[in-house]
Amino acid sequence: MSENSDPSVVENVVDSVTEKLHELSASAPSQPEEQPPVPTRYRLFNRQRSLHDIFGGGKPADVLLWRQKYLSGGILLGSTLGWLLFEKFGYTFLTIVGNILLMLMVVLFLWSNAAVFLHRPPPPLPELKLSEEMVASLASVFCAEINKVLAVAHDIALGKDVKLFLKVVAVLWGLSVVGGWFHFITLLYICTVIAHTLPVIYERYEDQIDGYAKVAVEHTQKQYRKLDASVISKLPWVTTKDKKLN
């Protein structure tokens, strides 16, 4: 009787041990499989933030990216009307400002006097006043930005950064060439149109534009390395500066 029961007992023990092993293996945390590294995506100007954050967020970014369509369209329409008045119809800035202020003052004067006779409330004109905090904040912002520009101009004038000097010369030369093509009002209107069209187009077709920009940047860097090796690195003040640094 014991001989017949021993094999069954052994089989039961083996079955229970295998079940426990299966349960332990199933409950043990599985090691995550190593995934291949995801290639970093190229973004225009190597930006790490969204276009909305780059423009400062808030209402200005919403206007430039057409998140507020009526306001963006109104600014673009107003710029177009102003450009037509100045460039096509020959009005001057002082003439338009004087006429607008004249009409505004006459309307407010008549409204105020009519309200007194008709026992109606006066026109809802807010108090025109600048607070000291607003003036101080604006002055501090402008002062900091002007100091940055002056510091860069100082370094360029003393020849501390040859590459930055060449970039500034190229930009100023481009501005002089473009300024010869258009009047200031026309150039300002073109900049306004570009600011209200290019960002929203880029946001909509971001992937395609980044692909073309990557190819263009690689080609530009290749040409710049050739120019640096053949011309810029051989300039006497550049070689002297490199020797001092070494």
Q: What is the pLDDT of residues 29-45, one digit of tens each?
A: 544 455 555 456 667 66
Question: Residue range 59-82: average pLDDT?
Answer: 89
* pLDDT recorded at residue 77: 93
pTM for the predicted model, two decimal places = 0.55
To the nearest 10°, the Cα dihedral for 171, 174, 180, 184? -40
* CA-based R_g, the chain, Å: 35
At residue 103, does pLDDT exceed 90?
A: yes
- Find the distance separating the first CA and the last CA of the chain, reported in whole Å: 96
The pLDDT score that the predictor gives to residue 237 is 58
> Over 60: is that where the pLDDT of 243 sits?
no
Q: What are residue 103's phi and psi, to 5 degrees?
A: -65, -40
pLDDT at residue 1 above 50?
Answer: no
- pLDDT band, very low/low/confident/very high, at 76 (cuts 50, 70, 90): very high
The predicted pLDDT at position 4 comes to: 47
Model confidence at 3: pLDDT above 90: no
What is the predicted pLDDT for the residue at 75?
Answer: 92
Q: pLDDT above 70 covers what percent of the chain?
A: 75
Contacts for 204-209: CB closer than 8 Å, 24+ residues apart: 206/51, 209/44
The predicted pLDDT at position 156 comes to 79
Residue 107 confidence (pLDDT) above 80: yes
